């Protein structure tokens, strides 16, 4: 018995090519017409359709085919657990700022409306200062919570050591450690700002971007930019100056 994942979609790209997208694993595959015909039948639950062994093997490897629906649920639960752990381990607060919802491109898959792109409204400096104050306040609270959590964990560990009979408080490694990895942790960014939109690096946003970098520098925050890269040269100077805290993607 086999089961074709319900977390998949087909998008016709041309008369000969179709995009097969697996939202469970993130796999994306371009398939030809005969393969699309087989996959459509599998998606409809027709497991008796003739499917060549090599295609079946590929579909299994790419996470489209499962032995049963229960196996698919297991994989979903596993991925949920991994995401939960990653979120729990993330101790630094992250904030998203959209300087504008406008953009100089019109990508076909864009989820922002054309009206927002056309309007191209940019946030004012007053609005930005309001956002930055709110980030400061939220960051202060997050730090307090993290300190309380760390203190509670420390006390719990000490209690556990005492109960186990191996308390060595004066030799405690956690207090004295000067290792490279601890040094790296101390240097680690204290928070993150993500610039999103629209296109955050439009020339019209320059003052806003400069102020955001100034803020990030003062507080040792990392800056992520989701950009289409079309104006990257206009921002080359500021990006270079802040190369150690930048992370750009699209
Ligand atoms: S670059 Fe981004 S914001 Fe601009 S149109 Fe494309 S997807 Fe939308």
CB 135 within 8 A of CB 230: no
Closest Cα partner for 192 from 77, 94, 104? 94
The CA distance from 170 to 159, in Å, is 15
Closest Cα partner for 199 from 117, 126, 143, 138? 117
197 C-beta closer than 6 A to ligand 1: yes
The CA distance from 196 to 100, in Å, is 8
- pLDDT tens, residue by residue, 182-216: 444 444 788 899 999 899 999 999 999 999 999 99
112 C-beta closer than 6 A to ligand 1: yes
Predicted confidence at residue 150, as pLDDT, reads 83
Which numbered atom of ligand 1 lies nearest the CA of 230? 1
- pLDDT tens, residue by residue, 8-19: 999 999 999 999
Give residue 146 CA to ligand 1 midpoint distance, Å.
36
Give residue 236 CA to ligand 1 midpoint distance, Å.
20
169 C-beta closer than 6 A to ligand 1: no
Helix (H) or strand (E) holding 76: helix 69-89
Interhelix angle 125-164/206-219, nearest 10 degrees: 20
- Which tokens belong to 23? 């939202």
105 C-beta closer than 6 A to ligand 1: yes
- Residue 176: pLDDT band with limits 50, 70, 90: very low
Helix (H) or strand (E) holding 60: helix 53-61
Closest Cα partner for 204 from 108, 85, 124, 87? 124
- Residue 148: pLDDT band with limits 50, 70, 90: confident
Identify which has the larger pLDDT, 118 or 144.
144
% of the chain with per-residue pLDDT over 70 = 88
Which numbered atom of ligand 1 lies nearest the CA of 198? 3
pTM for the predicted model, two decimal places = 0.60
The CA distance from 205 to 195, in Å, is 11
72 C-beta closer than 6 A to ligand 1: no
């Amino acid at each position: 018995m086999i089961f074709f994942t319900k977390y998949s979609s087909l998008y016709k790209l041309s008369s000969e090519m179709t995009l097969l997208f697996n939202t469970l694993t993130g796999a994306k595959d371009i398939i030809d017409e005969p393969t699309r015909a087989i996959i459509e039948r599998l998606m409809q639950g027709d497991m008796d359709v003739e499917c060549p062994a090599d295609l079946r093997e590929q579909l299994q490897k790419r996470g489209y085919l499962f032995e049963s629906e229960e196996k698919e649920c297991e994989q979903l639960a596993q991925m949920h657990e991994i995401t939960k752990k990653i979120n729990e381990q993330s101790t630094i607060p992250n904030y998203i700022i959209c300087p504008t919802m406008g953009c100089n491109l019109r990508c076909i898959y864009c989820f922002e409306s054309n009206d927002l792109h056309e309007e191209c409204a940019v946030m004012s400096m007053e609005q930005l200062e309001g956002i930055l104050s709110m980030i400061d306040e939220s960051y202060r609270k997050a730090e307090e919570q993290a300190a309380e959590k760390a203190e509670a964990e420390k006390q719990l560990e000490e209690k556990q050591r005492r109960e186990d009979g191996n308390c060595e408080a004066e030799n405690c490694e956690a207090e004295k450690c000067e290792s490279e990895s601890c040094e790296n942790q101390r240097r680690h960014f204290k928070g993150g700002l993500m610039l999103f939109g629209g296109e955050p690096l439009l020339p019209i946003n320059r003052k806003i971007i400069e102020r955001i970098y100034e803020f990030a520098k003062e507080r040792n925050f990392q800056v992520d930019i989701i950009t289409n890269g079309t104006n990257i040269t206009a921002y080359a100077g500021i990006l270079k100056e802040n190369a150690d805290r930048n992370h750009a993607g699209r």
